[in-house]
Amino acid sequence: MFFEKSWLICAVMVPVLLIAVIFLPPPVYLIGAIIAFATGWIASGTGEMVVEEAVNKPMNQPSGQRPITTRVVLTERKMPDNIPADLKCPSCGGDIKPTDKKCAFCGSSLVPLLDLPEPAKLGGLETGKTVRVVHPRKGPQDYQVSRRLLFTELWQASRGPQVPWTPTGNYFAGFGLEPAAYLLNWQDRFYLLDERRALTDMDINRDFAQYAQKFAQSNQTARVEFSYDGERWKMVDIGRFAIEFEEGEGSHLHKGAVGRFIHAASGNRALVIDDFQSGGQGGQDTLWRGFLIIESDITF
């Protein structure tokens, strides 16, 4: 009797399941597709000024996990389409730059063509100027500023892929120097970096991603150390930036490029890794190595 009842249930269930498999999925998929389409439509229809979306490289996630989308919302800044290369001071005719608020020759006040925010530090250091930096090993060195970068610091109000990264309101400056070096200020840290290496996403994932992830998960409070190229490094800071403006020779970065950074230290030795968001207006992923210096080591 028991077996007969089981077989009866089975005989009823098989056709029911078959009918369900054959007839139910199309409407279910259709409804799902409509919901997905509508959600996507609403998400793309918000009044954000600049939204850049790109597939995140797995720096902050365990390997094998599906990549998530990072949203970055930047402040829209009016930029002239063409910046004349030969701007002259209306008072003395001297050469001026589009960002100059004051003529370098006669000292008269100017209305800058590009009204950029001031970086937190080193605001007066401009391309073409000479800067003296006390190199921890070589002593005082004179460098020529060949490039200037203005970075926008980004942050997330809370963690998660749906939370956009937005400007904190802090701007920091970086300077390409001749002979080849890079001077960078980030928050209260100053770096003189004189070794440069191009990185691939593979290099970053292999050598740094797991440590950056560990540091991120601790809210940047854990002591995270790693070995790289014969030195032992300690994580100092990780974060995200956008390039607000760039001027000077040998430019390989573009305005609006978004990336992540890793700052690590080994005594007064410093490691700075720039990992640009792939796709669109990116930049070359770069590793810089050099020294942590103090503000008073920089004179111009």
Which spans of this chain sit near Zn ion (rule: CB under 5 A)? 89, 91-92, 94, 103, 105-106
With contact defined as beta carbons under 8 Å apart, do 263 and 182 qualify?
no
| Closest distance to Zn ion from the beta carbon of 299 (Å) | 25
| Closest distance to Zn ion from the beta carbon of 122 (Å) | 23
| Closest distance to Zn ion from the beta carbon of 95 (Å) | 9
Tell me the C-alpha distance between 192 and 195, whole Å: 10
Cβ closest to Zn ion, residue 52 vs residue 100: 100
| Closest distance to Zn ion from the beta carbon of 99 (Å) | 15
Cβ closest to Zn ion, residue 93 vs residue 267: 93
Cβ closest to Zn ion, residue 102 vs residue 159: 102
Q: Which amino acid is at 242?
A: A
Tell me the C-alpha distance between 193 and 289, whole Å: 5
- Which residues fall within 8 angstroms of residue 167, CB to CB, at 6 or more apart? 74, 75, 152, 153, 154, 242
CA–CA distance from 70 to each of 166, 167, 168, 260 (Å)?
11, 14, 17, 11
Cβ closest to Zn ion, residue 96 vs residue 133: 96
| Closest distance to Zn ion from the beta carbon of 231 (Å) | 49
Task: Look at residues 205, 216, 178, 180 and name the one whose alpha carbon lies nearest to residue 273.
Answer: 205
7's tokens? 């077989």
Kindly calculate the radius of gyration of the chain based on its CA atoms and give it in whole angstroms. Answer: 27
| Closest distance to Zn ion from the beta carbon of 199 (Å) | 43
Cβ closest to Zn ion, residue 91 vs residue 278: 91
Q: Could you say which DSSP state residue 21 is in?
A: H
Cβ closest to Zn ion, residue 103 vs residue 173: 103
